[in-house]
Structure 1
Amino acid sequence: MTTTQRIDLNADLGESYGPWQMGDDAAMLALVSSANVACGGHAGDPDTMAATLAAAKARGVTIGAHPGYPDREGFGRRVIPMAPDQIARMVACQIGSLLGAAALAGVRVAYVKPHGALANLAADNADVARAIARAVRAVSGDLAVLAISGTALEPAADAAGLAVFSEIFADRAYLPDGRLQPRSQAGAVIDDPGMAAARLLRFLDSGRMEVAGGGSIPLAAHSICVHGDSPHAVAMASRIRGTLTAAGIALAPFAA
């Protein structure tokens, strides 16, 4: 490792809705360099979006749109059967909602990162990946795409002429094919901050991600995600930030 190595640390934020509160956004915004803000699909509403954007602006945190299936009860973690054109319209409208709130707040939205089941589906379904990329491009070609590393969304966004960045997950286990281990399986969620930070250091040193069952696979990464809805999110992000900084790795947004 060298002192010039850089990586982004992102979190999914703005996931409250009305009186229902999710996560500690204020604490997370003091730790991350990029914030994926819910756009009213799986979570979020106009007031929550406005508050999250203002808080991110005050902290100098780069902002991304975080569209997902309109499934509040399932937190966007269930696939809703939709044709690719329907997905494109859904994603475009959610991005547009956040852009409207951002215009009022006087902040810039720099990228788009699909949420939950939508992101997982786009990882392997090229039609869904192309629909998402098409929606982003139609809203603004200046928006970048943050995609799960090694998935179909990367080439789809690149083919659409968008800037593409890849992410890995600090708090999720990986399968040998590079996909996230399903949450329904034991060990899929990593809740030990020290274990997660140590795994990230090994990854950044080798470029290889450890997988369930043993072994490792090569992945590219411009950003590391910590899920803001986890009860361990603040402790996880704090430990990772401290560990990486101590190792001489600078935390900086991938999209300025």
Structure 2
Amino acid sequence: MSRTICLNSDIGELPGETGRALDRAILDVVSRCSIACGGHAGDEDSMRATLKAAKARGVVAGAHPSYPDKKNFGRISVSLSPEDLEASLRQQVRTLSSLARLQGVVLDHLKPHGALYNDSAKDADLAQIVVRIAHQNRIRAVIGPPNSVLRKVALEAGLDFVAEGFADRQYSSDGSLVPRAEPGSVLTSVQEQVAQVLHISEEGCVTTRDGSMISLPVETICLHGDTAGAIQSALGIREALQTRKIEIKAHLPQ
């Protein structure tokens, strides 16, 4: 039996045709994608284009909502009332869901973006909001960190949970991501990313910033489209996986 790993990417985040061309190149490699729906990036035009490109390639699509903060690309926590945050997330995902229906695409998962991803992984109240938005839009799964509060809340609510690791982010010894503000927190070389993906996919572990090895039980690995050299890294990762006879597959339920 062949070994498999799901590769995913966050797309629809960069503007114009340059952004769409990058999305298409990344979609040629991954098996699952999360589409920005207006909170940190993206508009209806980018959503339509990315949905179309994903469908054409047979890539499973999902929603990628965020704190409503385009200025900071959704990467800092925003102080909003729970009601206002939930209303924003609802609008973001409903917009993408409506456009997806028009193209005959079913959104399979919801993955929070940036600071919301990190916050909802630890805060049960935020996790409940994320899970409610998924339920309201008939989205069956949530993507997030393994062993997180978000995982617990999603499973308790009857949703599937897809545990995620990262090709291009450095890990701390407690399993959290090293903050982006710290030097070296983003792995930019193809060789570093390939090595990390192979460790995660073959051994279920990752080397941390201090050189220790920790368990990282995940079902999908994210390739960030906005990391420098993203296309070259994606192609290098695909080649390395193919060489090891590891199939890139979305892992949908039977």
**TM-score bracket relative to the smaller structure:** over 0.9
In structure 2, give the amino acid aligned to 1:114: P
In structure 1, give the amino acid aligned to 2:124: A
Give the aligned CA root-mean-square deviation in angstroms: 1.8
* Cross-structure match for 2:14: 16
* Cross-structure match for 2:29: 31
List gaps (5 residues or longer) in structure 2: none
SS of 2:238's equivalent in the other structure is helix
**TM-score, normalised to structure 2's length?**
0.94
Question: Does residue 86 in structure 1 map to residue 115 in structure 2?
Answer: no
Counterparts in 2 of 1:63-212, with a 5 A limit? 63-140=61-138, 142-212=139-209
Question: Does residue 57 in structure 1 map to residue 60 in structure 2?
Answer: no
2:14 and 2:226 in contact (8 A); partners too: no
Deviation at 1:56, TM superposition (A): 0.9
In structure 2, give the amino acid aligned to 1:104: L
Question: Does residue 219 in structure 1 map to residue 222 in structure 2?
Answer: no
The change in CA–CA distance for 1:21 and 1:29 in structure 2 (over 3 A counts) is: closer
In structure 2, give the amino acid aligned to 1:168: G
Deviation at 1:210, TM superposition (A): 1.2
2:20 and 2:46 in contact (8 A); partners too: no
In structure 2, give the amino acid aligned to 1:24: L
Q: Please identify, of 23-32 and 98-107, the stretch whose mean Cα deviation from structure 2 is larger.
A: 23-32
Q: Please identify, of 32-41 and 13-22, the stretch whose mean Cα deviation from structure 2 is larger.
A: 13-22
Deviation at 1:94, TM superposition (A): 1.3
- In 1, distance between residues paired with 2:12 and 2:58? 16
Please list every run of at least 4 consecutive aligned residues from structure 1 whose deviation after the TM superposition is greater than 6 angstroms.
none
Q: Cα deviation per residue 1:218-237 (whole Å; 9 max; x = unaligned)?
A: 12111010111112111111
Q: How many residues align?
A: 253
Deviation at 1:83, TM superposition (A): 3.2
In structure 2, give the amino acid aligned to 1:40: G
List gaps (5 residues or longer) in structure 1: none
2:97 and 2:137 in contact (8 A); partners too: no
In structure 2, give the amino acid aligned to 1:231: A
- In 2, distance between residues paired with 1:35 and 1:202? 22
Q: 2:245 aligns with which of 238, 248, 256?
A: 248
